[in-house]
Amino acid sequence: MSAIQLALASTRYYRSLILLFVPALLFGILLYFYKDHPKLALGGSFSALPWQFYVVAIFGIIATVGGVLDWRYHRNPLNMKIPKKERDAEAAALGLGGVPMFFLMWFAMLSDTPQFFLVPIIFQLIFTVVAISYDEFVFHIKRCGPLENWYHRMLVFGNGIAWMAWFHFIYVR
């Protein structure tokens, strides 16, 4: 196997783990760089964060920990290995669902007219829920034990609650 093939195989191996961290890291980095943006009303201080951002942080951490634990669970040789189709489904939910959703939400949050982003956000939400449901109901429903199901619940519900808090910040506050 050539060095390029080995690198590509390694990238596929870590793809879902890398995608798991993209929204969390981007949120923190962009929040730091845009802390003075008038739409955020942070006054340049992170101590003045709205309550929704604390909910995003807490449940985002829960979701990320659940995702990492699930990823590690499947890398243990004593546990079941996940097939390529399942890895692809998880990567689609994260990369084609979560990452575009993140950017739509970010642009809506900074926009003077966030309502223009509402329909694309809802479409992206539907796609993401379908992708997650496909992964859960096709690959996980019959074979997962209680521990792995707990990791999935941490990931799905943690992200769901974080998303709802962020959505509340954009459209309700």
Which mean pLDDT values do the consecutive 10-residue runs of the chain (173 residues) have?
Answer: 54 74 87 85 71 94 92 74 74 80 95 96 92 80 82 91 96 89
- Count CB neighbours of 5 within 10 A: 9
38 part of a folded domain: no
| Residue 77 confidence (pLDDT) | 65
44 part of a folded domain: no
104 part of a folded domain: yes
43 part of a folded domain: no
| Residue 98 confidence (pLDDT) | 82
Alpha-carbon distances of 8 from 2, 14, 93, rounded to whole Å: 10, 10, 20
23 part of a folded domain: yes
Alpha-carbon distances of 50 from 25, 54, 102, 135, 168, rounded to whole Å: 19, 7, 18, 33, 11
Estimate to the nearest angstrom the gap between the alpha carbon of 68 and the chain centroid. 12
68 part of a folded domain: yes
56 part of a folded domain: yes
| Residue 72 confidence (pLDDT) | 85
103 part of a folded domain: yes
For the chain, the domain total comes to: 1
| Residue 69 confidence (pLDDT) | 92
| Residue 12 confidence (pLDDT) | 63
What domain range is 132 assigned to?
A: 3-33+49-171
Helix then strand then coil, % of the chain, to nearest 5: 80, 0, 20
Token reading at 81? 């290995």
| Residue 132 confidence (pLDDT) | 84
- Which one, of 60, 92, 86, 59, lies nearest residue 74 by Cα? 86
